Amino acid sequence: MKPIRKLAFVVNEEKTGASELARTLVAAARKAGVKMKQTTRFPIPRGYLSDCDACCVIGGDGTLLGVARESARANVPIIGVNRGSLGFLTTFSADESRTHFSELLKGQFRIDHRAMLDCSTSPGQHDFALNDVLIKDEINSRIVRLEVFAGQELVTDYTCDGLIFSTPTGSTAYNLSAGGPIIHPDAGVIAMTPICPHTLSNRSIIFRQDVKLRVINRTPNSRLLVAMDGQRNLKVGMDAPIEITMSTIRLPLAQRADYSHFSVVRTKLKWNGHLVDKSGIQT
């Protein structure tokens, strides 16, 4: 990658240590002659990244999700530094960011292009999601009946608390908590996972990435809530179908050259087991 000449910082001041870490990284960038802009606001406004080479997000995954749409639109890589809890998206730790920041500024990183979902609820009402699209009743406790089509083919209808449509990146978020599968980020698929369905068979369905999904509300006198990445809501008419496709834009996510997705998953989910080196010794 080319060296970074202009860098945006997005800092979540509510996260412990985020402001202090930001001061350290800003000083390092200034010493390297990098131009900068900084904000504590997220989601960031449209156009904020248009003249930047990269964006350093210091916070948790929620902070990064607040930057993802604009980063994807502008095709500006995100360097995610974790000051939250799990940090599946903000894969650089505070120590790693301090140690490797000069290398990152020199362009010594790789880019993963993460798939995003495009959800439309009516003409002019659509948005992008990096993790997931959640469909449920506006009233939390109410069960809904949702009919799902893949193209023109009826998949099934669910009586449930809601449906989660997830990208591979989002498979370790709400989808995982609801019993859905873990999917490698490079897989070209969309996962649909029901939330507490009234059936003895509770299984996710995996669709190919070129599918056009359509959800129709069959619940009498019910209005749906459509949440994008758990941060933004789309308005839905009483009888309007909800359409979900894989977006044509992708999120450029900066990673170290030796990044391993399953190493991150093992660490974050605290999987047990031992690695065996070439000599056969467990580590």
- Residue 232: which of 42, 40, 57, 83 has the closest Cα? 42
Q: Which two tokens mark 162?
A: 């809601």
Q: Which two tokens mark 89?
A: 């998206």
| Among 61, 127, 161, 229, the one annotated catalytic | 61
Residue pair 23/56 in contact by the 8 Å Cβ criterion: no
Enumerate helices (H) and strands (E) in the chain, giving the number of each.
Answer: 5, 16
Look up residue 148 and give its amino acid.
V
Cis preceding-peptide flag for 43 (omega within 30 of 0): yes
Q: Which two tokens mark 73?
A: 């639109």
Angstrom distance (rounded) from CA 250 to CA 207: 18
Annotation says 61 is catalytic:
yes
Residues classed as catalytic? 61
